[in-house]
Structure 1
Amino acid sequence: MTRKPHVIIIGRPNVGKSTLFNRLVGKKLALVDDQPGVTRDRRLGDAVIAGLEFTIVDTAGWEDDDPETLPGRMRRQTEVSLEGADAALFVIDARAGLTPLDEEIARWLRSQTLPIVPVANKAEGKMGEAGVLEAWSLGFGEPVPLSAEHGEGVADLFRALWPIIGDTAEGPEAEADSETVDDQEIDGDEAESVDESDLGPLKLAIVGRPNAGKSTLINRLLGEDRLLTGPEAGITRDSIAVDWHWTDPASGTEREIRLIDTAGMRKKARVTEKLERLSVADARRAVDFAEVVVLLLDATKGLEHQDLKIADMVLQEGRALMVAINKWDIAENASSLFNGIRGALDEGLSQVRGLPLFAVSARTGKGLDTMLTAAFELRASWSKRVPTAALNRWFDDALEANPPPAPKGKRIKLRYITQSSTRPPRFVVFGTRLDMLPKSYERYLVNGIRRELGFDAVPVRVVLKSPKNPYKSG
């Protein structure tokens, strides 16, 4: 498919860039707050205006700071985003009017070869009229008066963009949205697993506590400084998805991955600021969209209670989980550290004993290819369907090896089992007096499914169903 034209949103902090981004993609993807500097990493989205399709890129607010500071590194990310772009929307705040920083950005943009569309945001009502007139002085032609919050002026934006990208933009296409892939269903006994080509890109989210090295890890995989990093904890705020092609070293084939970086998750009691609460909520939503989640640990800190809480949250959401210990190149007593974390995971997450555990280094690249290979294998297990005949053969053997108990002399009869869905795998057991079946026996069935049927460390759901008694009053 032909590459869509890229349109960059640029401007100083708090002029409404992320609000405009959300308006154009039709979803609240970027975090928005009254305080400046919320956006720190580039975020890409698919935008459509009256059939004009393009990729819109939200960027961090441009600030005049030393290049080594966090705002300075954010500005460098914004500068890099213009490379290869087709147009830029230079956004100002019409109510505040032009500022010295707006004029500095304009001077820099005039040195670029990129077509610039001046956008006077927050132009609703009479309060924005003066700012729209001032925007003429930027030297980029007629400004587009806009209210990103209320959706006013989008038609004018279309008229400004069409002469620039209209010839290269794509028309509407009826394609499946990869963000909303539902559980894959396969009827009967036709197949045991879903072909990888049917699943699309592997949606791989990286989660963990602040400063575990999540953004650094993704930058290492991509081979570029795509995400903002640094010694400061909590740099990442938005969940950022990056599409990428990974070359499998074993087969030499290219495999598609959607990498999802997330904000660090601290203990709930320590999260007091509204913006951090929004960031953590955004990270949780990213887990919902992921297929496989990597919980990244810091080798210098080991496994903490908060890590187990994050892991449990991922498993409760039904995602396939793996654990990676980052900063392995500076780990002390590496062997005992690995074995200690292995034992703590098996004890703290007994419902999925044997989670895949890897030692990696985002700085050197150690172990990353092995981790990605395992991620694809884990997704295959997560998406697998067992034929009903094979499933019930296992079920009969499991009942014969360990028959269900007979509490108070009343026999519990388990009749048969079927797999109702995948991603995560769900199984329904039919029988009588199932309300009397002990939890320990349910665990026995779940552990058997995972161990004997090839579901490894995948979260497995088992539902018990008894036939309704037509003579029992409701």
Structure 2
Amino acid sequence: MSFTLAIVGRPNVGKSTLFNRLVGKRLALVDDQPGVTRDLREGDARLGDLRFTVIDTAGLEEVTDESLQGRMRRLTERAVDMADICLFLVDARTGITPTDEMFAEILRKRADHVILGANKAEGRAGESGVLDAYALGLGEPLRLSAEHGEGMDELYHILRPVADEFSERAEADAPETDLDVSDDAPEDFTPSAKRPLQVAVIGRPNAGKSTLINTILGEDRLLTGPEAGITRDAISVSLNWLGTPTRIFDTAGMRKKARVTDKLEKLSVSDGLRAVRFAEVVVVLLDAAIPFEQQDLRIADFAETEGRAVVVAVNKWDLEEDKQDKLKALRTGFEKLLPQLRGAPLVTVSAITGKGLDRLHDAVLRAHEVWNRRISTARLNQWLGAMVEAHPPPAPGGKRIKLRYATQAKTRPPGFVFMCSHPEDLPASYTRYLVNGLRDHFDMPGTPIRVFMRSQNDKNPFKGRKKAPPSKLRKHLQGRKAD
């Protein structure tokens, strides 16, 4: 049984840097500016032969009101309650502050296992801070340098006994079973606990992305509020969504590139774009009051360019009065402004009330199924014959372009190869004609479709060979004709 380690402490003591070192990836945003981390970020950590879950938390601050900092503190306290072990980090170079003393008292009351870590303890500059940490009454402080990897071996030896304790407890509680699980089953892309459905929620700031995911989860797992741009990291959350094993990524709001000047916001947007590339289905969340802004169109086009299955969700639908006329206008605008996503699901939801989330779930599953669809070569070529007969390819410069056959080369997204003569002369309009035909005939609305034109080598063995010199007999006959 794996255990959970929560890293807590004041802002800017190196929690996210240590988190990244334990998971072996740069998942959490790191910057010199205090208070970068706001949400709880979970990751699979490795330390020697230990495997456990590590939680990066927001910096603890002395506020208890409904401000952003107060909500961040409550989220961190929740992580302390749910974790098996708390690693309390202090800054060895700054020394122990009254805030550290106050939170040490809180951890003594709320946490079962507390490890005191003095970070930034490399060199002589941190020696006095390490000695001051004894005054917190949490035992001997562990000298760490998250930036340089110092103290990881000592941390392993502290966590080892706790890991053994959890393993013994898991073995005692594990039920006996005679089931023989085989891994020989054919691979498919049906979401499972081992490979959950990857969904990313993207959109402009304050569209309600975090609120939507909290409603799906049924708990306040992500930090929300009236302020725009609360989410900074791309936070992933695993859940069972109406029976479907799912991993949902909450991303930072994406503003116009010209308005993004702050370094931290650039990092946040970059992290969100990376989450889109890892996702299978992308939910583009719009605000019902101002849908299809220029930035919304750019975001949706980016998801299509990356080859992700796209579902468009219109949030705050509970605030709309004339829903029928609004929905009609939305569908008209969608078809006009996003022709590359023609047929993609358009779902109206309310993140506050939870209305429409069942339709959103069905639309996501449908988009995922189409994204993974494979069509047999026989069906493709039967369709291709009908398409060419209805509208033959053009003959630019008098050269007839022949479409010989087609085959599906890939899925996720679907990609098709057409063998033809003179592929470089085939106009883009005819390629669009084929793509639209694929969507309509094989019921693949909305998903990105990739089409590749290839030339088929002519089997004429004399093609391209230089003209042979005339033989002696031909020369003799040509001479007699001349006489």
TM-score (norm 2): 0.89
Cα RMSD after superposing both structures: 1.9
Structure 2 partner of 1:58: 56
- Which residue in 1 is equivalent to 2:128? 130
Q: Report if aligned partners of 1:67, 1:76 keep a CA contact under 8 Å in 2.
A: no
1:222 aligned partner: 217
Distance 1:471 1:95 in 2: 76
How far did 1:445 drift?
0.6
- Counterpart selection for 1:284 from 254, 268, 273: 273
Counterpart secondary structure, 1:39: coil
**Which of the pair has more CA radius of gyration?**
2
| Identical-residue share of aligned pairs (%) | 55
For residues 118 and 163 of structure 1, what CA distance do their matches in structure 2 show? 16
Change (3 A) 1:456 1:310: same
Whether the aligned pair in 2 keeps the contact of 1:18 and 1:32 (CA below 8 Å) is: yes
Residues 213-264 of structure 1: CA deviation (Å, up to 9, x unaligned): 10001111111100000000000000000000122xxxxxx21011110000
For the residues of structure 1 that align with 2:266 and 2:189, how far apart are their CA atoms? Answer: 37
Give how far 1:333 is off: 2.9
Amino acid at match of 1:86: D
- Could you list the per-position Cα deviations for residues 26-59 of structure 1 after superposition, in whole angstroms to 9, with x for gaps in the alignment? 0000011110111000000000111111000000
Aligned length in residues? 445
Give secondary structure in 2 for the equivalent of 1:397. Answer: helix
Give distance in 2, aligned partners of 1:83 and 1:194. 36
Which of 256-265 and 129-138 deviates more?
A: 129-138
Q: Are the equivalent residues in 1 in contact too, given 2:315–2:350 (CA < 8 A)?
A: yes
Residues 169-318 of structure 1: pairs in structure 2 closer than 5 A = 194-197=189-192, 200-247=195-242, 254-318=243-307
Which amino acid is the alignment partner of residue 256 of structure 1?
P
Post-superposition offset of 1:196: 4.5
**1:168 counterpart SS class:** helix
Within 2, Cα distance between the matches of 1:26 and 1:166? 23
Corresponding position of 2:3: 5
Amino acid of the residue matched to residue 306 of structure 1? Q
Structure 1 residues 341 and 430: alpha-carbon distance in aligned structure 2, compared to 1, 3 A threshold:
same
Shift in Å, 1:359: 0.9
Q: Which runs of 5+ in 1 are unaligned?
A: 171-189, 248-253
Give the CA deviation at 1:200.
Answer: 2.6
Answer yes or no: is the 8 Å Cα contact 1:9–1:58 preserved in 2: yes
Matches of 2:189 and 2:302, distance apart in 1? 26
CA distance in 1, matches of 2:250, 2:70: 21
Measured in 1, the distance between the counterparts of 2:164 and 2:264 equals: 37
Aligned pairs for 1:375-394 (under 5 A) are 375-394=364-383
Q: CA separation of 1:440/1:59 partners in 2, compared to 1, >3 Å: closer, same or farther?
A: same
1:439 paired residue number:
428
Q: CA deviation at 1:165?
A: 2.5
Post-superposition offset of 1:286? 0.5
Please tell me the residue identity of whatever aligns with 1:270. R
What one-letter code is carried by the residue in structure 2 that aligns with 1:280? V
SS at match of 2:102: helix
**5+ residue gaps in structure 2?**
169-185, 466-483
Of residues 450-459 and 24-33 in structure 1, the stretch that sits farther from structure 2 once superposed is: 450-459
CA contact (8 A) 1:10 1:58 kept: yes
Q: What is residue 449 of structure 1 aligned with on the other side?
A: 438
Residue 368 of structure 1 deviates from its aligned partner by: 0.3
Give the deviation of 1:195 after TM superposition: 4.2
Off by >6 Å, runs of 4+ in structure 1? none
* Distance apart, 1:166 and its partner CA: 3.0
Shift in alpha-carbon separation, 1:154–1:212, aligned structure 2, 3 A: same
CA distance in 2, matches of 1:299, 1:114: 46
Secondary structure, aligned partner of 1:234: coil
Q: 1:130 to 1:56 in 2, by over 3 A?
A: same
Amino acid paired to 2:324: S
2:261 maps to a residue whose letter is T
- Supply the AA of the counterpart residue of 1:345: F
Per-residue CA deviations over 1:178-220 (Å, capped at 9, x if unaligned) read xxxxxxxxxxxx99x8544598311111110000110001111
1:53-111, CA deviations, whole angstroms, 9 ceiling, x for partnerless residues? 10000000001124210001000000011223110100111111111111111011111
Asked whether the 8 Å contact 1:117–1:161 carries over to 2, the reply is no
Superposed CA offset, 1:116-142 (max 9, x none) = 001111111111111111112211112
Q: Which has the higher contact order (CA 8 A, sep 6+)?
A: 1
Structure 1 residue 314, shift from structure 2 partner: 0.4
Structure 1 residue identity aligned to 2:436: N
- Say if 2:192 and 2:245, in contact at 8 Å, map to a contact too: no
- 2:408 corresponds in structure 1 to 419
Q: Give, in angstroms, the shift of residue 302 of structure 1.
A: 2.5
Contact 1:52–1:166, Cα closer than 8 Å, also in 2? no
Q: Is the 8 A contact 2:191 2:244 kept in 1?
A: no
Which residue does 1:78 correspond to in 2?
76
Looking at structure 1, the residues matched to 76 and 98 of structure 2 have their Cα atoms a distance apart, in angstroms, of 19
Partner of 1:184: none
Indicate if the aligned counterparts of 2:280 and 2:368 stay in contact, CA closer than 8 A: yes
Note closer, same or farther for the CA distance 1:194–1:56 as it changes in structure 2 (3 Å cut).
closer
